[in-house]
Structure 1
Amino acid sequence: MNLFFGKAKAKTTAKDAIYKLRETLDMLEKRQTFLESKADNELKIAKANATKNRRVALMALKKKKVFDGNIEKINGARMTIETQMMAIENANVNLETMGAMRSGAEAMKNIHGSMDINKVDATMDDIRDQMDIADEISVAISRPVGIGEDLDEDELLNELEELEQEELDAKMLETPSPAVYTPNVPRHEPERNKRIEEEDEEAELKALQASMAM
């Protein structure tokens, strides 16, 4: 504690400074609005007395000039305050960003402090080994037990070829044989022979009837 100057003044934060600047800006805006209304009123008085009372009109213009000067000063102050507020806000954003980045860096340092590259490599090697073992176990489990272990593969192939040959033979037997070409022989000769035989039989019948009649 300072015994001569009393209690030390607390540091102003960015939030407090921005809040105070906003209050001041609101006050200046209200003051400017008031002065603008006064200047407008003096202008009306000057216009109303321009031809009637030059002294009153001139006094009104002087007052308006004073009001305009104060309005100009307020505009400058407002511009300065708005610029300062923007600078403080940007600085505060930068401060928060740096704080967050610093926290992130410290967190990464703490995490990496408990890790070692050799330990990481060893862990990755263990993972690969365990994955290979799991692969081998999966293959062993999926292999059928007691099926085809003692069979001769050459013998099976020969039997398969015999079955294929039998299938081909069966298909060939089922295939219809090609039609035999038969020449178109005229049928006139057999018909003529048949007619001759019928005539001979008829002649023999008539001869028999004649002998019986005698």
Structure 2
Amino acid sequence: MSGIWGWFGGGAAQKRKDNPKNVIITLRTQLEMLEKRQKHLENQIEQQNQIAKKNVTTNKQAAMAALRRKKAYEHTLEQTLNHVGTIEQQIGAIESANINLETFAAMQRAGDVMKQIHGKLTPTKVDEVMDQIQEYNRLNEDIADSISNAAIGPQVDEADLEDEMEALQQQELEDKMLETGAVPVDRLPAVANGDLKGKAPAVTEDDEEAELRKLQEAMAI
């Protein structure tokens, strides 16, 4: 019979029924029923106690019957309270055991995952990867430097630039001297040696130095 029951899914159904969570739900349902019964018995006990008080002097027989019913209810209530305590204890034990089971299962899964991860990861492999990363970083820096230092446009001779700069400075100096009325010595027209005899030069060297100082001061301003 058990084999046939297993074929029709009875085994799986029983396994689901015995699941800790399902058992706890069943026990809590039973506990709710017992608590309702407890409340009902307490009300009955109070009711019979009132009947006994009411008839204690006028109807002794009715009072005695009420006390007997009260005692019976009290006995049943005591049993009910024992059942409530037992079920509450079972619920607590199952919940604690279930928490332990779930915690162990989670730790076991974590252990399996760690084993799977470290099965593919070793210190040697980590060192190799780190070396590769550092090599790629160095290569990337070299490439960046090469790109930054790459010449764009035609190459310029620095010596030619210096010569051109000196020519511009000389031209600027001559322009300033022309504005002040001074003429550089090297720009004077050539004169025969015979023409210079007995004549003073057009610009003395002292005058040239004075004009040069004036020019320098003007350029500084």
> Normalising to structure 1: TM-score of the pair?
0.61
Shift of 1:149: 8.1
Shift of 1:144: 5.5
> Which amino acid in 2 is paired with 1:29?
E
2:119 to 86, 90, 113: 113
Name the structure 2 match of 1:17. 23
For the structure 1 residues 19 and 170, does the alpha-carbon distance in structure 2 shift closer, same or farther, using more than 3 Å as the test?
same
Residues 72-106 of structure 1: CA deviation (Å, up to 9, x unaligned)? 33223212211210221121122112111111111
- What residue is the counterpart of 2:201 in the other structure? none
Letter in 2 for 1:110: Q
- TM-superposed CA distance for 1:66, in Å, is 2.6
More divergent stretch after superposition (83-92 vs 120-129): 83-92
Give TM-score scaled by structure 2 length. 0.59
The aligned runs of 1:85-104 (5 Å cut-off) are: 85-104=91-110
Deviation string 1:135-160 (CA, Å, 9 cap, x unpaired) is 121122123626998648xx7xxx8x
- Aligned twin of 1:128: 134
Q: For the residues of structure 1 that align with 2:100 and 2:62, how far apart are their CA atoms?
A: 57
Identity over aligned pairs, percent? 38
Superposition pairs of residues 1-214 of structure 1, within 5 angstroms = 12-143=18-149, 145=151, 151=158, 169-170=217-218, 173=221
Amino acid aligned to 1:13: N
Q: What runs of 5+ residues in structure 1 fail to find an aligned partner?
A: 163-167, 174-214
Pair 65,150 (structure 1): closer, same or farther in 2 beyond 3 Å:
farther
What is the CA distance between 1:42 and its match in structure 2?
A: 0.8
Paired with 2:157 and 2:65, the residues of 1 have a C-alpha distance of: 127
For residues 96-139 of structure 1, the C-alpha deviation after alignment (integer angstroms, 9 at most, x for no partner) is 12111111111111121122321221111011110111012112
Three-state SS of the structure 1 residue aligned to 2:56 is coil
Higher alpha-carbon deviation: 13-22 or 49-58: 13-22
Q: Could you tell me how far apart the structure 1 residues matched to 2:40 and 2:135 are?
A: 83
Amino acid at match of 2:42: E
The CA deviation string for residues 33-84 of structure 1, in whole angstroms up to 9 with x for no partner, is 3222321221221122122112321331232133123223322321221121
Q: Kindly tell me the number of residue pairs found equivalent between the two proteins.
A: 159
Comparing 28-37 and 82-91, the one that deviates more: 28-37
One-letter amino acid of the counterpart of residue 90, structure 1 = S
116 and 43 in structure 1: CA distance in 2 versus 1, 3 angstrom threshold: same
1:149/1:143 CA distance change after superposition, 3 Å:
farther
Distance in 2, Cα, partners of 1:146 & 1:75: 96
Aligned residues: CA RMSD: 3.4
Change (3 A) 1:150 1:109: farther
Of 58-67 and 140-149, the range deviating more from structure 2: 140-149
